[in-house]
Copies of this chain bind each other. A is one copy, B any other.
Amino acid sequence: MPDSIPDDSVGLVSPQLIHIDVPLTLESGPVLSQYDLAYETYGTLNADASNAILICHALSGDHHVAGYHSMEDKKPGWWDNVIGPGKVIDTRHFFVVGVNNLGGCKGSTGPTSINPETGQVYGPDFPIVTVNDWVESQAVLADKLGIKQWAAVVGGSLGGMQAMQWAISYPDRLRHVLIIASAPKLSAQNIAFNEVARTAIKTDPDFHEGNYLAHNTLPRTGLGLARMLGHITYLSDEAMGEKFGRELRHNTINYGFDVEFQIESYLRYQSKTFVEKFDANTYLLMTKALDYFDPAKTYNDDLVKALAPIQAKCLVISFTTDWRFSPERSEEIVNALLANNKAVTYAKIEAKQGHDAFLMPITRYHDIFRAYMQRIASEVPA
């Protein structure tokens, strides 16, 4: 909890909700006749609406990207170290938009929302949503906000996939795309981890085929397992070693099945807090969106052709110890962009933190990120 709001914070912010009644035909088939999107904005939109930055979130992220909701908040938004006055994405120059993805559980329409057609909670009936669907709904939001063209669309991990899809789907609606710690598609191993997470959730007796809310319960065990597993893949072996090593929870070995090592205690705690604040059906949907993302698929697996429509200038960033989305995966994107003669800047950052590095204030990462954002700022009127 901040004693006082730091000077370089966007300060106290309020989420906003927009109701959209333009029907959205989802890639999976169904039509959402209406939906809400929760979003936050920081900074001021300039006169010609040319300074807007869209931040796309990853699996468990949301629209609360920076600042505090109240003085009682223990933590600011999830990318607060990047966004604020004088920060990497400088809100003195930019108008920054964060939006909770459709299918989410933090305010946008999703499995925990009321289905207007039945008057009941969607639960497992909420349809499969894809990265494409998110981009479509974000484009509607941009229209509503009067933003014809983003100065940049920015995302890490699953957020990077959305940024990439924006550049493919709407070449003239963004001038820059920043794709951080991402990949052109999941590997079999990535899908396998997602499948274990989904199986854990779906086999929890409290899951009730997704209708757990109607049963006044939550699939805490399954979602907790999914989160524990996720945590392992977000961190590098090295980072985990430095943070926890083989430190014992108590000083002596107990030879039993209670918590023995610090890492066990950490994982149990992390999963325990997560399951109370995140919806299991949303978790399932997000992992499916990850699995399905594969822009090259419709081009006979030719990523070069898939990225051909892109007009935006590109910054691609990867991290050396990220084994979930390794630098090689980012380099596939870079190589396909280069093969198309696109303007692309690539930085592989030395970092110990694994996939989570994209959320960390790593000096060289932020220096490169900042320099790129300053270049964008120099292109737009104040």
Q: CB within 8 Å of B: which residues of A?
A: 27-29, 127-128, 185-189, 191-193, 195-196, 198-200, 202-203, 205, 221, 224-225, 228-229, 231-232, 235, 237, 240-241, 243-246, 253, 255-257, 260-261, 263-264, 267-268, 284, 288, 291-292, 294, 323
Closest residue to A328 on the B side, CB-wise?
A: B237
Which residues does chain B contribute within 8 Å of A199, judged by CB atoms?
A: 224-225, 228, 268
Q: Are A195 and B256 in contact (CB under 8 A)?
A: no
Closest residue to A235 on the B side, CB-wise?
A: B189
Q: Are A128 and B195 in contact (CB under 8 A)?
A: no
The 9 closest A-B pairs by CB, nearest first: A28-B255, A188-B240, A189-B237, A128-B255, A203-B221, A188-B244, A188-B263, A195-B264, A192-B232
CB distance from A321 to the nearest CB of B (A): 11
Closest residue to A285 on the B side, CB-wise?
A: B257
CB distance from A341 to the nearest CB of B (A): 28
Which residues does chain B contribute within 8 Å of A196, judged by CB atoms?
A: 225, 228-229, 232, 267
Q: Are B202 and A205 in contact (CB under 8 A)?
A: no
Q: Are B228 and A261 in contact (CB under 8 A)?
A: no
In the complex, besides A128-B256, A192-B228, 12 extra interface pairs with C-beta distance below 8 angstroms are A27-B255, A185-B246, A187-B237, A188-B243, A189-B241, A191-B261, A192-B232, A193-B232, A196-B229, A255-B288, A257-B284, A257-B288
Main secondary structure of the interface of A (DSSP, over half): helix
Which residues does chain B contribute within 8 Å of A245, judged by CB atoms?
A: 188
Q: Are B203 and A205 in contact (CB under 8 A)?
A: no
Tell me which of B200, B257, B263 contacts A191 (CB under 8 A): B263
Which residues does chain B contribute within 8 Å of A27, judged by CB atoms?
A: 255
Q: Are A240 and B294 in contact (CB under 8 A)?
A: no
Closest residue to A248 on the B side, CB-wise?
A: B297
Q: Are B202 and A257 in contact (CB under 8 A)?
A: yes
A128-B255, A288-B257, A292-B253 given as contacts; is B187 within 8 A of A240 (CB)?
A: yes
Complex alpha-carbon distance, A231 and B323, angstroms: 17
Q: Are B225 and A192 in contact (CB under 8 A)?
A: no
Complex alpha-carbon distance, A255 and B289, angstroms: 9
Which residues does chain B contribute within 8 Å of A253, judged by CB atoms?
A: 292
Complex alpha-carbon distance, A205 and B229, angstroms: 20
Q: Are B195 and A263 in contact (CB under 8 A)?
A: yes
Q: Are A29 and B255 in contact (CB under 8 A)?
A: yes
Which residues does chain B contribute within 8 Å of A261, judged by CB atoms?
A: 188, 191, 195, 291
CB distance from A58 to the nearest CB of B (A): 20
Q: Which of A191, A202, A224, A260 has the most chain B CB atoms inside 10 A of its CB? A: A191
Which residues does chain B contribute within 8 Å of A244, judged by CB atoms?
A: 188
Q: Are A240 and B195 in contact (CB under 8 A)?
A: no
In the complex, 26 of the A-B residue pairs with CB atoms within 8 angstroms, ordered by the A residue number, are A127-B255, A128-B256, A185-B246, A187-B246, A188-B240, A188-B241, A188-B243, A188-B245, A188-B261, A189-B237, A191-B246, A192-B232, A192-B263, A192-B264, A193-B232, A195-B263, A195-B264, A195-B267, A195-B268, A196-B229, A199-B224, A199-B225, A229-B229, A237-B323, A246-B294, A255-B292
